[in-house]
Structure 1
Amino acid sequence: MFDRSVLGPHQSEFLRQCWQKKPLLIRNAFPGGLDYVGGDELAGLAGQEGIESRLVIEHGPKSWETRHGPFEDDVWSTLPAKKWTILVQAVDRLLPDVSRLRDRFRFLPNWRVDDIMISYAVDQGGVGPHTDNYDVFLIQGQGRRRWEVGAEALKKPELEPELDMKILKLFEPVESFILEPGDMLYLPPGFAHNGVALGESITYSVGFRAPHQKELLLSYVQFCSQHEGDEIFYTDSGMPEQREPGLILPGELKRLRELMLAGLQDEQVFLKWIGGFLTEPRSFHEPLDQPISEKSLRAGLKKGRAVARAEGARFAFYPVGEKLHFAAEGECFVLDPGLTELVTLLCREQEYSAEDLLAHSEKLGFMELLCHLWNQSYVRWSDET
């Protein structure tokens, strides 16, 4: 099914032996490299409001400066000839070609993909030795870069003090690779690494999200507080007659904790929440000012117009009993299971033919769902990209 995988026939071997276990260098993964964006174009994106970008300048071995965008055009002429880098997050939500790069990683679940960051570095540019809390594939787009990698995942890395960057205090590389255009390096979470440009260099970083426990708990509690449900209050019948008024009894502590845990263990509430949480985007697509009607949408499909998913849009689905939950960009819909084949298609592909969509057009909830996705700017006509 996933013949577009960057790993080709080796993806099963990679998942068994490398995923979240050890680094892997893949030479010529993208023959000729990637030229979707150049340094000037990336600098242009870094100058736009609403786009997350950084400029990292190395002034010395332990002297680093980080600036956050958007940047004025004249900033670039003030920079030194060496040792600086521009980084722009979520370029897959901005440029169609970069968005389609995600197709090459469909052997991993949609909800795990975070974003594709692109960095441009001048000679000797980098961001210093560091670790990440997520899996990442580093693709050399153009130019060359030397990567050094540590021996194992660090549990509690020590950082340089008094810096606004997380740079390792001690870095002991055991491997070194020079990546040429099209080469790709996979790094699991926690592995220390340091990349330094050898001349001008463009790197594509395909990062994978890994929600941490506190993030999950905070989002779930916020969801519970914003949605209707039974209000269950603490009870303490059988109060002891003799007690110190300031003392909280062990039985009271136990009941309070059980009350909290009961809220976390409500499976139905969890299933309503989790799809939206896992597909919530870094940045939101703006809804249409003039919503499309079901009549107009159906007419376009009957004319044979294909539909495309918006750049970087996250879709996922999961069955719940006799219903189907479909999550898109932080929203979750409860659908008739007759739409399972449709949502599978929506999640797997970036573009959908009119024929494939019309095959589901008479199913319960189809036009309502497609119109909503359209009016939220999650999908559009493919000839309008």
Structure 2
Amino acid sequence: MFDRSVLADHQSDFLSRFWQKKPLLIRNAFPGGLDYVSGDELAGLASQEGIESRLVIEHGPKAWETRHGPFEEDVWGSLPTQKWSILVQAVDRLLPEVSLLRDRFRFLPNWRVDDIMISYAVDQGGVGPHTDNYDVFLIQGQGRRRWEIGDRALVNPELEPGLDMKILKHFEAAESFVLEPGDMLYLPPGFAHNGVAQGESVTYSVGFRAPHQKEMLQSFVQFCSQFDEGEIFYTDQTLPETREPGLILPGELQRLRELMLAGLQDEKLFMRWIGGFLTEPRSFHEARDKKVSEKTLRAGLKKGRAVQRAEGARLAFYTVGEKLHFAAEGECFVLDPSLTELVALLCREQSYRAEDLLAHSEKLGFAELLCHLWNQSYVRWSDEE
């Protein structure tokens, strides 16, 4: 295991030696730990509608029982003194201070960041030995947690049958260590790991998206089904004179396959779809009831009011030839290329000075874009409650 005090000072080394290759333990990455959320506050979030949460009890009515929120307040008093955990997803979309943690991982692509999950565990609490199909940074916020990890990425690991959780049937630890407040552990996809709280523990998990093939195919086909133009039908102008009527000939099978592949290889449709797919959030920010006008927006900027990105808002951009594609929270827009510097700024920072935005105010599509982001609640005034 390789220790580093500050990951940001060694980004090149991390990307070349560790990213998706092997684990990395980083001592004191966040000096003093993180105290944004206590166990009681996390339980409060897990009791709210619209927030994805789980309660994992190692020895409930059955082993590794998993319950999904929202939870009634009286559930917490009925739990044992040991071996249970609360997990709340996407806390970065709920709390501004947690959202700012994403800045520490800005050297990785925006579209790869999934969410920041926070877990609270009582003594000996955990979720059992398991693997993840994505990269994750585990930050010890408060308390202590012992981690055991395997020596290699597992492919198709065998799981214990009949459990709510995906618990490994066979787990052999190659290394074991205790994370103190502020320590961070990076794990690539597939590495088996098991975390057990040593007393009360709060852990922040910064997870990274790894879209899988079937998910992408399903989303792309659904996207394509919205459009009627350019439909291509199967043709077979030359048929054999004699054949078994029930037989599908090899040439027909090949033409059918090629027809499907041609749809998947439609570059224009792919580019219209991919940005929205990669920025689609776990949960959506509610659009504003009262819309802002271009005049009001410009007036606020001219008064020097700074703008803030919504907590956890997912933004990305890419270019195709001379076209600029900007994706925000599952939407994708084709913009004038003159706005490239603006959308790069929007994607790079979480807050924006008025003068930096006004520098682009005369460019084609500036006001329309900013108004749309505003009215969808993707951005707001920094001094707005």
Q: TM (normalized to structure 1)?
A: 0.97
Checking the alignment, whether the CA contact within 8 Å between 2:8 and 2:104 is kept in structure 1 is no
Counterparts of 1:119 and 1:177, CA distance in 2: 19
- What letter corresponds to residue 72 of structure 1 in structure 2? E
Checking the alignment, whether the CA contact within 8 Å between 1:276 and 1:331 is kept in structure 2 is yes
Shift of 1:228: 3.8
Shift of 1:226: 1.1
Alignment gaps of 5+ in structure 1: none
Shift of 1:294: 0.6
DSSP-derived class of the 2:152 partner: strand
State, as a whole percentage, how many aligned pairs show the same letter.
Answer: 84
Counterparts of 1:352 and 1:363, CA distance in 2: 17
Runs ≥4 in structure 1, deviation > 6 angstroms? none
Number of aligned positions between the proteins:
380
Shift of 1:9: 1.8
Superposition map of 1:306-317 within 5 A: 306-317=306-317
Shift of 1:6: 5.7
Counterparts of 2:240 and 2:6, CA distance in 1: 67
Superposition map of 1:1-385 within 5 A: 7-59=7-59, 63-385=63-385
Per-residue Cα deviation, 1:273-313 (whole angstroms, up to 9, x for no partner): 00000000000000000111111111110110000100000
- What letter corresponds to residue 10 of structure 2 in structure 1? H
DSSP-derived class of the 1:159 partner: coil
Counterparts of 1:288 and 1:362, CA distance in 2: 25
Per-residue Cα deviation, 1:194-250 (whole angstroms, up to 9, x for no partner): 000000000000000000000110000000001243010000001111111111111
Checking the alignment, whether the CA contact within 8 Å between 1:6 and 1:105 is kept in structure 2 is no
Counterparts of 2:90 and 2:6, CA distance in 1: 20
Distance change >3 Å, CA 98–CA 19, structure 1 → 2: same
Shift of 1:335: 0.5
RMSD over aligned CA atoms reads 1.1
DSSP-derived class of the 1:70 partner: coil
Shift of 1:64: 1.4
Per-residue Cα deviation, 1:92-149 (whole angstroms, up to 9, x for no partner): 0000000010000001000000000000000000000000000000000000000000
Checking the alignment, whether the CA contact within 8 Å between 1:6 and 1:104 is kept in structure 2 is no
Counterparts of 1:6 and 1:94, CA distance in 2: 27
Counterparts of 2:96 and 2:8, CA distance in 1: 23
DSSP-derived class of the 1:10 partner: helix
- What letter corresponds to residue 317 of structure 2 in structure 1? F
Checking the alignment, whether the CA contact within 8 Å between 2:6 and 2:26 is kept in structure 1 is no
- What letter corresponds to residue 57 of structure 1 in structure 2? I
DSSP-derived class of the 2:383 partner: helix
DSSP-derived class of the 1:370 partner: helix
Checking the alignment, whether the CA contact within 8 Å between 1:46 and 1:70 is kept in structure 2 is yes
Per-residue Cα deviation, 1:31-78 (whole angstroms, up to 9, x for no partner): 000011101110000000000000001118x92111100000111000
Alignment gaps of 5+ in structure 2: none
